[in-house]
Structure 1
Amino acid sequence: MTLDRRALVARTLAIGAWAAARPALGQTPPPAGPRGTPPGLPQPVETIDLWPGGAPGLPQDRPGGRLVETVNERSTDSLVNDRAVLGVTRPRLAVFRPDRPNGAAVMITPGGGYRWVVVDKEGYEIGRWLAARGFTAFVLFYRLPGDGWASGADTPLADAQRAMRLIRHRARDYAIDPERVAAMGFSAGGHVCADLAARFAVPVYTPRDAADALSARPHSAAPIYPVVSMDPAIAHPGSRQQLLGDHPTPAAQAAHSPDRCVPADAPPYFLCHAEDDDVVPVENTVRLRAALKARGIPLEMHLFANGGHGFGLRRAIGKPVAAWPDLWRAWAATVGLA
């Protein structure tokens, strides 16, 4: 017992010293928000900036003035955070390390309709769940396409590609197998996930360093209640407008609809959606499944009668849709992730 207590104290001191040293390492802290966090919930203290020297392509004459990152707290419950990040200027990964790594990693892309990036519901809560089960989790705070970046609609994809390559480049630091790095995304973050799984080999930024020589193809992809199609008949209007503007061309709609860009070497997919989703129609996932099947890509799909949109973990409690994380984990074992 004494040894365990000493080990715990030593580990706590080491983490504290490491966290204090982070500014010296030049990494941007994770989004915090205007108030504290509930006691007892692990918060990330480790981040990885994606772009040394800053992200590429923010115009100096951006309409609306200088872009400033802002974190809004949307919850009125002091024991529950529901933060959203607007105006991401330094895209980064927030890291959740497991106590006992299983050698696999998951990059998480939260939703937010491409207006903001959700922190807790589709980010940190998923990261904690994964880390508790041995996965090293990386929550990606990606740049938003409507903020004036030169890469426009490809901006979130550029960050996702770069993040996947950096995770692989630093695999040894995290005791993970670089071949077992999966992607998981939610809502508009599901579009980032599906876009990465479809266009991982499409050049959308100028290489910066040795990490960019690595593949951005995820081991597997799990877009959950995802925005997929830019077809106005089923698209999420807000995400479509933020990504492509008010009057996108048919070519732009096709290029940014992952169901229309599935390559022959796409990774295996886990698909999940609720039939009663009144924000992102379930047809988005159904179309993606059809496109994957047409290409012969391995997949598993689960559709739930009830669940609505944005159920994540917290809003799934007490409903059949609450089974989705364990279904994903069982499927992940069948494709060799863990």
Structure 2
Amino acid sequence: MNLDRRTLFAGAIALGLTRPAVAGAATKATGAGAAASPALPFDKTGEVIDLWPGTPPGAPSPLPVERATERSANPAQPDRVIAGIARPRITAFRPKYPNGAALLVIPGGGYREESFDKGGVQVAQWLAEHGYTAFVLTYRLPGEGWQDRSNTPLADAQRAMRLIRARAKAYGIEPERVAVMGSSAGGHLCADLASRFDFPAYAPVDATDKLSARPFCAAPLYPVVSMDPAITHAGSREKLLGPNPTPEAEAAHSIDRIVTTRSPPHFIVHAEDDATVPVENSLRLRAALRAAGVTVDLHLFAEGGHGFNLWNIAGKPVAAWPSLWLDWASRMGLG
């Protein structure tokens, strides 16, 4: 399957908005509410589904206040990053011609913030144009006061996977064909979900939590994998584990050390000139998956740097990754 690159930066898909109410302090914490923030016009991007029926578990007091920062000077190519997330949610993008499969898309940002457009919306729009129903995850950040900080992002990712499956019929998808894709720190969360999908990251809240959180397959892009100070991304490590983590905490959140035989197939992409997240992270993940007998495709590129996603890849070796993923997903039976 060949990628038509003209589709990479297509405009937002016209979708209806659903905005379920969030009870109690969570709504108040966002002031006018994340849904009403002019910096995050959800009515122009996709349908919004809250992850939790009330205040998310382990909430601090006061709750974080959501804020968005626009990094792009081009209105046609927004690049918003968000932090202060008290209302974790998924934003859905429906394809015109659905193929019955879905992806949870997890933006990166060093567990300090989240690249909503670059790592989320653009990827979701591209996936939708290839028939996939895509859900961008806006997850709680571990350094913002939540209890059990290191497992808070995983709790949101698990809940998101279960909600997608619970709503499969409404979205025209097959419940078992729900995959995950994440970049950078979002790649860490992507791979974490792929190996700790049945870890009790939160207490069940309703019938949705009886569903599996195991992805059909996983695509961590230039991921943070290890908490080993020798190769990790220091900012992600500090935000996830806090200062001075124990060796046990480092091991528990180093994906290469928690892979199991039940981990799903992986597609990994990394540029060798990545100066932010060393390529050794992906090499360790591949080695661990291979040792566990898990199918893995690893694609290394000489040039591309960090954070490329679908931006500014034309003419670079990394421009091949989208078509490679589409072919791989088809071989795996996802597409």
Cα distance in 2 for partners of 1:324, 1:30 equals 33
What is the 5 A alignment of 1:28-47? Answer: 34=39, 43-47=44-48
1:217 partnered with 2:218: no
**Equivalent residue, structure 2, for 1:26:** 21
1:103–1:135 CA contact under 8 A, matched in 2: yes
Cα contact 1:74–1:84 (8 A) shared by 2 = yes
Opposite residue 185 of structure 2, the aligned amino acid is A
Taking a change above 3 Å as real, the CA distance of residues 138 and 34 of structure 1, as seen in their structure-2 partners, is: closer
Q: Which residue of 2 aligns with 1:7?
A: none
SS at match of 1:234: coil
Quick one: percent identity of the two aligned structures? Answer: 57
Aligned to 2:322: 325
Residue by residue over 1:257-277, the C-alpha shift from the partner in whole angstroms, topping out at 9 and shown as x without a partner, is 111000111100001000000
Corresponding residue of 1:52: 53
Q: Which residue of 1 aligns with 2:202?
A: 205
The change in CA–CA distance for 1:143 and 1:334 in structure 2 (over 3 A counts) is same
Distance 1:79 1:282 in 2: 32
Say whether 1:298 aligns with 2:295: yes
Q: Report what 1:253 is aligned to.
A: 250
AA at the equivalent of 1:109: I
Aligned structure 1 segments of 4 or more residues deviating by more than 4 angstroms? 27-33
- 2-side partners of 1:257 and 1:155: how far apart? 16
Q: What's the TM-score once normalised by structure 1's chain length?
A: 0.89
CA deviation profile, 1:212-245 (whole Å, cap 9, x unmatched): 0011000000000000000000000000000011
**Would you say 1:185 and 2:182 are equivalent positions?**
yes
Deviations 1:291-320 (A, max 9, x none): 000001001110000000000101212212
- Note the alpha carbon deviations across 1:41-63, whole angstroms, 9 max, x for none: x9423111000012111122xxx
Mapped to 2, the partners of 1:249 and 1:266 lie a distance apart of: 25
Do the aligned partners of residues 32 and 333 (structure 1) sit closer, same or farther apart at CA in structure 2, a change above 3 Å counting? farther
Partner of 1:11: none
Cα deviation digits, residues 88-128 of structure 1 (max 9, x gap): 10100000000111000010000000000111111000000
When normalised by structure 2's length, the TM-score is: 0.89
Structure 2: which amino acid aligns with 1:71? A
Look up the SS of the partner of 1:84 in the other structure.
strand
Any conservation in 2 of the 1:31–1:85 contact (CA below 8 Å)?
no
SS in 2 for 1:288: helix
Q: Residue 291 of structure 1: SS of its match in structure 2?
A: helix
Alpha carbons 1:83, 1:119 under 8 Å: kept: yes
What CA distance in whole angstroms lies between the structure 2 residues aligned with 1:30 and 1:255?
A: 35
The number of residues matched between the two structures is: 312
What amino acid is aligned across from residue 298 of structure 1 in structure 2? T
Aligned residue runs from structure 1 range 1-338, under 5 A: 18-19=16-17, 22-23=18-19, 25-26=20-21, 34=39, 43-60=44-61, 66-338=63-335
Query: Structure 1 regions of 5+ residues with no counterpart?
Result: 1-14
Q: C-alpha root-mean-square deviation of aligned residues, in Å?
A: 1.8
Label 1:157 to 1:276 Cα distance change in 2 as closer, same or farther (>3 A): same
Using the alignment, how far apart are the partners of 1:285 and 1:35 within structure 2?
32
Contact map agreement 2:84 2:144 (CA 8 A) in 1: yes
Do 1:97 and 1:136's aligned partners in 2 also have CA atoms closer than 8 Å?
A: yes
Structure 1 counterpart SS, 2:298: strand
